[in-house]
Amino acid sequence: MLPTPDDLSDGKDAGLEPVGEVAGDDLERYLQALIAGDGTTCVHVVDKALAAGIPVPRVYEGLMKPALYRIGELWARNQVSVACEHLATTITEGLLNRVYPRIVHARRCGRLAVLATVEDELHQVGLKMVGDLFEMHGWDARLLSAGVPLDRLLDAIERERPDAVGLSFSVDLHVDGLERMLRGVRAAYPELPILIGGQSLTHGGHERLDAYPGVTCIASLDDLSRLLQSEPRWICGPADQAL
């Protein structure tokens, strides 16, 4: 049985407030469609937002991300099934692929980010959004497979020679694995900038990570956009103005 509107009424605590130009009614319609597995309606809501001139990052931050977070919380309360959560992920990945042609024409400046989820972490939709944001700002992004082990991450860094590494974790249970990866990357590449993000950081809790040199914690896609636009070491040149 699908959650009722009353089940969803406490969305404020779950980050279900409209962000930027995304209307609250559109967010609610999108969420209900995602829960129902109605990909067609989800496409219509996203297309409406883009047609209204809402930038792609705002669609990610204000529509797709909070809806996925909400479904994850409903699953944790046994109010939706794991099949519902998986279908929501599949629909969202399809929408990201649909939106991607809007960003591939951004100018490139020759800088590269290697992105991965931590070992045993299978949630990578958010990481795909991060990769898109890097590309919108002129970087190239290489996304590794979900749950990549440390040795494969180090192999990828050796092969690609990136300018930065991004690690994502959405489950607090994986923080020890994240720290193992941080220690491994930092030991092999002492100067390589590392970004950490994911749902687990949205409510704080990054104090343990601040102890690692050269690590920047990102709590939202908005934070990442600001970093890529304003911090000298991350600025890669202006992205395509059409974005």
- One digit per residue, the tens of pLDDT, for the chain of length 243 reads 444 434 443 433 334 444 457 778 999 999 999 999 999 999 999 999 999 999 999 999 999 999 998 998 899 899 999 999 999 999 999 999 999 988 876 678 889 999 999 887 777 899 999 999 999 999 999 999 888 999 999 999 999 999 999 998 876 667 788 889 999 999 999 999 999 988 777 665 567 777 788 899 888 888 999 999 888 888 875 544 334
CA angle 88, 95, 29 (to 5 degrees): 60
* Residue 215: both structure tokens together: 């690590």
Is residue 79 domain-shared with residue 170, that is, in the same domain?
no
52: tokens are 């209204």
CATH code for the domain of 171: 3.40.50.280
Same domain, 150 and 98: no
Residues 135 and 209 in one domain: yes
pLDDT of residue 169: 84
**Does a structural domain hold residue 159?**
yes
**Of 102, 121, 152, which one is at a domain's C-terminal end?**
102
Task: Find the domain containing 64 and state its range.
Answer: 5-102
CA atoms within 13 A on the CB side of 59: 27
Q: Are residues 158 and 57 in the same domain?
A: no
Q: What is the predicted pLDDT for the residue at 231?
A: 86
Are the C-beta atoms of residues 113 and 139 closer than 8 Å to each other?
yes
- Tell me how many domains the chain contains: 2
The reply to whether 146 falls in a domain is yes
